[in-house]
Structure 1
Amino acid sequence: MNYFSIGFRNILKNHRRSLVTLLSVGFGFASISLFAGYIKYVYSGLAKQAIHGELLGHLTVMKQGLRTEGRLHPAQYMFSKEELDRVMPILRKYPHTRLVTPRMSLSGMVSNGTASTVFVGEGMVPEDVKKLQGDFQRKLSGDLKADNPIGVATAEDLGRILNLKPGDSAALLVSTVTGQANALDVDIVDDFNTGNVGTNDKFLYLPFDLAKSLYDFDGAERLIVLLDDKAFTEQARTELTAQLKQAGFDVELKTWLELSSFYSQVKRLFDMIFAFIFSNVFIVVVMSIVNSMSMTVVERTREIGTLRSMGLRRSGILRLFTTEAFMLVVLGCAGGLLFTLLVRLAVNSAGITYTPPNSSNVVSLMVDLDVPRMARTFVMLSLLGIAAAFFPARTAARKCITDSLGHV
Structure 2
Amino acid sequence: MYFEMAKRNLKRHKLMSFLAFMGIVIGVVSLSIFGIIGESVKNGLNEQNGKISYIEIIPNKKQGYFYFSEKDVKKLEIKKFNCEIIPILSSDEVMKYNRGRNETIITVYGLNKINMKKLTNKEISDTSIGINSYCLKNLGLKNGDYIKLKNSKLRIIKLKNNNNILSNLGLDYIISDNTFKQICGNAGYSKIIIKTSKNSKSKIKNESIKLLNNKENKAVVYNSLTMLSSIIDKLSLFLSAIGGVSLIVASVCIGNVMIMNVVERTREIGIMKSIGASKKDIMMLFLYEAFILGLIGCIIGTIVSYATGYIIVKYIIGLDMPLFALKYAVYGISIGLLLTLISAIYPAYKASKLNPIGALRK
Please classify the TM superposition score into its range, dividing by the shorter chain length: 0.5 to 0.7
Query: Which one of 287, 290, 314 corresponds to residue 322 of structure 1?
Result: 287
Which residue is 1:244 aligned to? 210
| Other structure's SS at 2:214 match | coil
Residue range with higher mean Cα deviation, 100-109 or 365-374 = 365-374
Deviation of 1:331 after TM superposition, in Å, equals 0.4
Query: Which one of 231, 251, 256 corresponds to residue 223 of structure 2?
Result: 256
Query: Which one of 305, 310, 324 corresponds to residue 273 of structure 2?
Result: 305
Q: Residue type of the partner of 1:68?
A: G
Q: Residue type of the partner of 2:252?
A: M
| Other structure's SS at 1:253 match | strand
Deviation of 1:145 after TM superposition, in Å, equals 0.8
Unaligned residue ranges in structure 1 (runs of 5+): 93-99, 130-143, 175-182, 195-201, 353-363
Deviation of 1:219 after TM superposition, in Å, equals 8.4
Which residue is 1:154 aligned to? 131
Give the TM-score of the pair, scaled to structure 1. 0.56
Which residue is 1:17 aligned to? 16
Q: Does 1:282 align with 2:282?
A: no
**Greater relative contact order: 1 or 2 (C-alpha under 8 angstroms, separation 6 or more)?**
2
Q: Does 1:205 align with 2:160?
A: no
Query: Which one of 47, 57, 71 corresponds to residue 61 of structure 1?
Result: 57
Residue range with higher mean Cα deviation, 15-24 or 25-34 = 25-34
Q: CA 1:390 to 1:172, structure 2 compared with 1: closer, same or farther past 3 Å? A: closer
Hey, what's the Cα distance between the residues in 1 that align with 2:224 and 2:270? 61
Which residue is 1:222 aligned to? 192
Q: 1:122 touches 1:206 (CA, 8 Å); kept in 2?
A: yes
Query: Which one of 66, 69, 80 corresponds to residue 70 of structure 1?
Result: 66
Hey, what's the Cα distance between the residues in 1 that align with 2:33 and 2:161? 33
Hey, what's the Cα distance between the residues in 1 that align with 2:46 and 2:177? 24
Deviation of 1:86 after TM superposition, in Å, equals 3.2
Q: CA 1:278 to 1:386, structure 2 compared with 1: closer, same or farther past 3 Å? A: closer
- The correspondence of residues 263-278 of structure 1 with structure 2, limited to 5 A, is 264=231, 275-276=241-242
Which residue is 1:104 aligned to? 88
Q: Residue type of the partner of 1:291?
A: N
Query: Which one of 101, 108, 117 corresponds to residue 120 of structure 1?
Result: 108
Deviation of 1:396 after TM superposition, in Å, equals 3.3
Which residue is 2:143 aligned to? 165
Which residue is 1:291 aligned to? 256
Q: 2:146 touches 2:154 (CA, 8 Å); kept in 1?
A: yes
Q: 2:143 touches 2:157 (CA, 8 Å); kept in 1?
A: yes
Which residue is 1:82 aligned to? 75
- The correspondence of residues 183-202 of structure 1 with structure 2, limited to 5 A, is 188=157, 190=159
Hey, what's the Cα distance between the residues in 1 that align with 2:206 and 2:271? 69
Deviation of 1:395 after TM superposition, in Å, equals 3.3
| Other structure's SS at 1:79 match | helix
State the Cα RMSD in Å: 5.9
Q: 2:56 touches 2:194 (CA, 8 Å); kept in 1?
A: yes
Q: Does 1:374 align with 2:329?
A: yes
Q: Residue type of the partner of 2:220?
A: L
Q: CA 1:404 to 1:63, structure 2 compared with 1: closer, same or farther past 3 Å? A: same
Q: CA 1:154 to 1:51, structure 2 compared with 1: closer, same or farther past 3 Å? A: farther
**When the two structures are aligned, how many residues end up with a matched partner?**
336
Q: 1:105 touches 1:121 (CA, 8 Å); kept in 2?
A: yes
Q: CA 1:272 to 1:405, structure 2 compared with 1: closer, same or farther past 3 Å? A: closer
Query: Which one of 387, 395, 402 corresponds to residue 342 of structure 2?
Result: 387
Unaligned residue ranges in structure 2 (runs of 5+): 164-170
Residue by residue over 1:191-247, the C-alpha shift from the partner in whole angstroms, topping out at 9 and shown as x without a partner, is 5599xxxxxxx9413689998999889988434689979xxx9xx79x938982799
Q: 2:50 touches 2:198 (CA, 8 Å); kept in 1?
A: no
Hey, what's the Cα distance between the residues in 2 that align with 1:297 and 1:87? 80
| Other structure's SS at 1:61 match | strand
Q: Residue type of the partner of 1:23?
A: M
Q: Residue type of the partner of 2:11?
A: L
Identity %: 15
Hey, what's the Cα distance between the residues in 2 that align with 1:407 and 1:128? 90
Query: Which one of 142, 145, 156 corresponds to residue 121 of structure 2?
Result: 145
Q: 2:35 touches 2:236 (CA, 8 Å); kept in 1?
A: no
Which residue is 1:141 aligned to? none
Q: 2:56 touches 2:221 (CA, 8 Å); kept in 1?
A: yes
Q: CA 1:8 to 1:205, structure 2 compared with 1: closer, same or farther past 3 Å? A: farther
Q: 1:123 touches 1:210 (CA, 8 Å); kept in 2?
A: no
Deviation of 1:20 after TM superposition, in Å, equals 2.6
Q: Residue type of the partner of 1:145?
A: N
Q: 1:105 touches 1:221 (CA, 8 Å); kept in 2?
A: yes
Residue by residue over 1:329-348, the C-alpha shift from the partner in whole angstroms, topping out at 9 and shown as x without a partner, is 11012223344455567767
| Other structure's SS at 1:205 match | strand
Q: 1:62 touches 1:222 (CA, 8 Å); kept in 2?
A: yes
Hey, what's the Cα distance between the residues in 1 that align with 2:14 and 2:139? 68
| Other structure's SS at 1:70 match | coil
